[in-house]
Amino acid sequence: MVLTIFTLIHVLISFIAIISGFVVVFAMLRGGLPARWTKIFWTTTALTILTGFLFPFHGVTPAFVLGFIALAVFAVAMFASRSRWRRTYAVTIVLSLYFNIFVLIVQSFQKIPALKDLAPTQTEAPFKLTQLVVLILFTALGVAAAIRSRDQAVQTQVKEDI
C-alpha cells in the first residue's frame, strides 16, 4: 500500500515535470525562459530523479544508471544556469525533459496492456520505433534550443511570469 501511494506521488511529480518542461522548452524556443515554469520544471525534475532512487532495487539496473545520468545533467544545468553557458543550459533543459519522456515511454510499454501486447519485452519494433522517433524529435529540439541560445547569462533571459 505504501509503495503504491509512493509510486502515485512519483508519477504525478513526473507528469508535472513533463508538462512544465514542454512549457519551458517552447517558451525558450520563442526567446524567453518563464521564471515560474522554469522553477517548477527543475524542482519537479529533481524530485522525479530523487524519488526514483527511493524505489526498491536489487543491483544496478538501467533505471538506476539513467537516474545517475539525469542527476549529472541536472548538476551541469544548475552550474550552467549560474554561468554564461546559455547553450549548455538550453540543451540540458531539453535533455532533462527527454529523460522524463524516455521513462514515460518505457513505463507505458510496461504498464498499458495494449502497448505491452505490442512489445512485451521492449525489444520489438513498435517500442524501438517509438523511442527512435522521440529521440529524433528531441535531438531537433536540442539543436534548435542551442541555435536560438546565445552565450549570455541565463539570469538575464529569465522573464517573470505574468
**Domain interval for residue 89:** 2-159
Domain count, the chain: 1
Run means of pLDDT, 10 residues per run, the chain, 162 residues:
90 97 93 90 96 88 91 94 88 96 95 96 96 97 88 49 48
At 76 the pLDDT is 95
> Which DSSP string do the residues of 67-131 spell out, in sequence order?
HHHHHHHHHHHHHHHTTT-HHHHHHHHHHHHHHHHHHHHHHHHHH-HHHHHH-TTS-SHHHHHHH
* Residue at 31: amino acid letter: G
